[in-house]
Amino acid sequence: MKKWTFFNDDYIEAENALLHFKDLSFQRGYGLFDFFRLVGDQPLFLDDHLDRFYASAEAMHLKIDFSRAEIKTVIQNLILRNNLPGTGVRLNLTGGYSADGFTIASPNLTISQTTFSSPSKDHMENGISLLSYPHVRQLPHIKTTDYIMAVWLQPLLKQKGVDDVLFHQNGILSECSRNNFLLVTMDDRIITPHQNILPGITRKKLLEVAAKEFEVEERTVTLQDIREAKEAFITGTIKQILPVARVDDVVFNDHKISNQLRHCFQSAYINS
């Protein structure tokens, strides 16, 4: 069966979604995206993702030639055409074909549907391991395609036998490579970094769910806070809520509240 991608102004076969290497995303790494998942054939948190996509585009000086209603229609049509329930949709906007290879041009828009791997049962039950690393994403509040440090670090993470990286600057935590990071304190508060992070949508929804039962604090969180915490977990569109088993040499055996929050989140949004 054919798979379709929306490319600038038309639905084309996904395999033909080609860009000339003159595009500014290729030449200068200038692009942005957003990604949401389908529950069945229904987009999850679509309005939040569109809010962020349009905000990213504006912040990056790129114009989206479609209204929000038009983009929604395109997404609906794409989902109908592809008939791939439970997959994800990626909205991608590049700097366009720049005459001088540097100046922002008319963006290229791609809306594509992709499968993704859910977290393993082992990761869900026993948690993932993280390595702390000094770095702050440039323009961290914008969902750019700049993941160069996160990708570049993959061989090191593999060598160290850890699953992902946790960025900090002078001990002040920000986020993982593609996920927000949260801690449960000894007195059952949920704390999470408030600066130099991508405003994650799963993070936002989780904090809303968590606030019904726990005290929630968006604040400065440090490497030292990890040593003093009871539990750690991450949030993200693909991983949803996943416990953390280890950050560097700090081990977490308890994932009770993390698991509770995952169940609350899933009851509220996924299995409702």
Q: Given the rule CB under 8 A, which of 75-83, 133-141, 204-212, 240-248 is the region that contacts a second copy? A: 133-141
Strands 128-134 and 240-247, bridge-based pairing: parallel
Quote the CA–CA distance of 247 and 201 in Å, as a whole number: 23
Task: Tally Cβ neighbours within 10 Å of residue 142.
Answer: 18
Burial of 256 (0-12, 13-18, 19+ CB in 10 A): exposed
Task: Among 3, 123, 178, 204, indicate the residue that binds a second copy (CB under 8 A).
Answer: 178
Does the footprint of a second copy cover residue 240 (CB under 8 A)?
Answer: no
Q: Smaller CB distance to a second copy: residue 28 or 230? A: 28
* Paired residues of 216 in beta bridges: 190
Quote the CA–CA distance of 153 and 177 in Å, as a whole number: 10
Q: Given the rule CB under 8 A, which of 150-158, 166-174, 193-201, 262-270 is the region that contacts a second copy? A: 150-158
Quote the CA–CA distance of 140 and 58 in Å, as a whole number: 15
Does the footprint of a second copy cover residue 60 (CB under 8 A)?
Answer: yes
Shortest CB 157 distance to a second copy, Å: 11
Q: Smaller CB distance to a second copy: residue 43 or 96? A: 96
Does the footprint of a second copy cover residue 95 (CB under 8 A)?
Answer: yes
CA distances from 232 to 1, 110, 210, 261 (A): 42, 35, 14, 12
Q: By rule CB under 8 A, what count of residues binds a second copy? A: 47
* DSSP for 68-132, written as a single string: HHHHHHHHHHHHHHH--TT-EEEEEEE--B-TTSSS--SPPEEEEEE--PPPPHHHHHH-EEEEE
Binding to a second copy (CB under 8 A) within 3-42 occurs at 5, 15, 17-21, 23-31, 33
Shortest CB 79 distance to a second copy, Å: 19
Q: Smaller CB distance to a second copy: residue 88 or 243? A: 88
Task: Among 78, 150, 165, 201, indicate the residue that binds a second copy (CB under 8 A).
Answer: 150
CA atoms within 13 A on the CB side of 219: 10
Does the footprint of a second copy cover residue 85 (CB under 8 A)?
Answer: no
Does the footprint of a second copy cover residue 61 (CB under 8 A)?
Answer: yes
Residue pair 253/184 in contact (Cβ under 8 Å)? The answer is no
Does the footprint of a second copy cover residue 148 (CB under 8 A)?
Answer: yes
By CB under 8 A, name the binding residues for a second copy.
5, 15, 17-21, 23-31, 33, 60-61, 92, 94-95, 100-104, 110, 112, 114, 116-117, 135, 138-139, 144-152, 154-155, 178
